Amino acid sequence: MTASPPAPRPAGAPLGPTLATQLRHTARCVRAVEQGQSLSEVMPQVAAELRPGVQALTFHVLRHLGTARALVDQLVQRKPDAAVQALLCSALSLMLEDAEAGSASGLHYAAHTVVNQAVDAARQDRSTARQAAFVNACLRRFLRERPALMAEALRHPVARWNHPTWWIERLQRDHPERWQAILAANNQPGPMTLRVNRRQIGRAAYQQALLAIGVASNPVGDDGLELDTPQPVERLPGFSQGHCSVQDAAAQMAASLLLEDRHWTAADRVLDACAAPGGKTAHLLERAEVSLLALDMDARRCERVDDNLKRLGLRAEVRCADASRPATWWDGQAFDAILLDAPCTASGIVRRHPDVRWLRRASDVDQLVKVQRGLLEALWPLLKPGGRLLYATCSVFRAEGADQVQAFLERHTNAVHRPSPGHLLPGSAAPAGEFNDNPLGGHDGFFYTRIDKVAP
């Protein structure tokens, strides 16, 4: 069956950005990450009309950066300057023979097209213009010698798995039977999952509203819908009216785990200790009428919490404060429940933040473990006897999850661990159990455990 030709472009309609233009900006983003900047800081600097395409390309490059770097090392005699290196890595990432990754990212370009557009991109940028011929020679050599170059590159673990060596080795220790599945899952884009605001609309009704605009979805968890195809939030029915939020299914588990097996009222005091951007805060309020205090150290992030609550029609006290220093914000009244979604390496959400793996250092783990321990110690005295604390991190590293909680339980005789999911791993399968690895499939990696406070 012959495919229909594309519809003609209306007269006067603007042309979209060329691949060369997008590659030029992608290379700048990749270079910024290699210099230690987060994409959340870099991407807003890209022009709005270029941002969707540049973000898609940048994510793809960062998911293949280990392979691309190994190829560049073979293609050059002397390491090129950072701008040329970033452009070569960006182009090579689009030329890899990785049908699965290409299909998952939706990026399909003929290899010779990538070469030509990369050379154009080099010419367009002052920092690479003099190296355009060099870029052309490197990429054309890759086309000629692809099998041998790829075979040599993939001998190295960083190139094969596209994660730093220390990260790979830590996963091998923490999850010896599943480390490969975790790394493979990290290199695939995560699905778009919504949390339906049950105060506004039922999940089944919202699923029908999505179908009415041609968007299929599947229920996940108590309030979630995983979309078959990601959508801009502006297209989601009732988004501005607070009918739904974008939140991964693993993150949606927090509310159920903290609130389960008891009735909650407005007299119950709940603390969300590290609340921004407010997804879990909002879900708690969608699920229960409680008096909730949401803290975050960053004033701008507190504004995001306020904005999210306002859109969803919810109320909480939002305060800019350091949860680890209760003397600066606590009124002396104990809490019935505390959610501590602690700062961590974010090693479980690499699918959605592919820059994290290249920004983190091995030493960050130990530093963050100290921060987490400090928060646990500071907040535990604020919990009523009979109250509960849900400790959560978006990490798959045991030091930030199972090991952290085990050490806490050993220090506190009035702390009792309740049956909890433990480590949730993306793209793996494992039995449930205390501190064991549970399957996640389409979800992000997370750690959850609930600790109850008993009377002395």
Q: Which residues are catalytic?
A: 394
Q: Mark residue 130 as left, alpha or beta (left: phi above 0; alpha: psi -120 to 50; beta: remaining).
A: alpha
Q: Which of 213, 214, 285, 302 is nearest to 245 (CA)?
A: 285
**Other C-beta atoms lying within 10 Å of the C-beta of residue 433:** 11
Q: Quote the Cα angle for 423-286-269, to 5°.
A: 80
CB 384 within 8 A of CB 336: yes
Q: Mark residue 386 as left, alpha or beta (left: phi above 0; alpha: psi -120 to 50; beta: remaining).
A: left
**What's the rounded Cα separation, in Å, for the pair 42 and 33?**
8
Cis peptide before 277 (omega within 30 of 0): yes
**What's the rounded Cα separation, in Å, for the pair 137 and 129?**
14
Sign, Cα dihedral of 88, 89, 94, 95: positive
Each as own residue / partner, the long-range contacts of residues 11-16 (CB below 8 Å, 24 or more positions apart, any chain) are 16/53
CB 347 within 8 A of CB 153: no
Q: Who's near 250: CB < 8 A, 6+ residues apart?
A: 348, 394, 424, 440, 443, 444, 445, 446
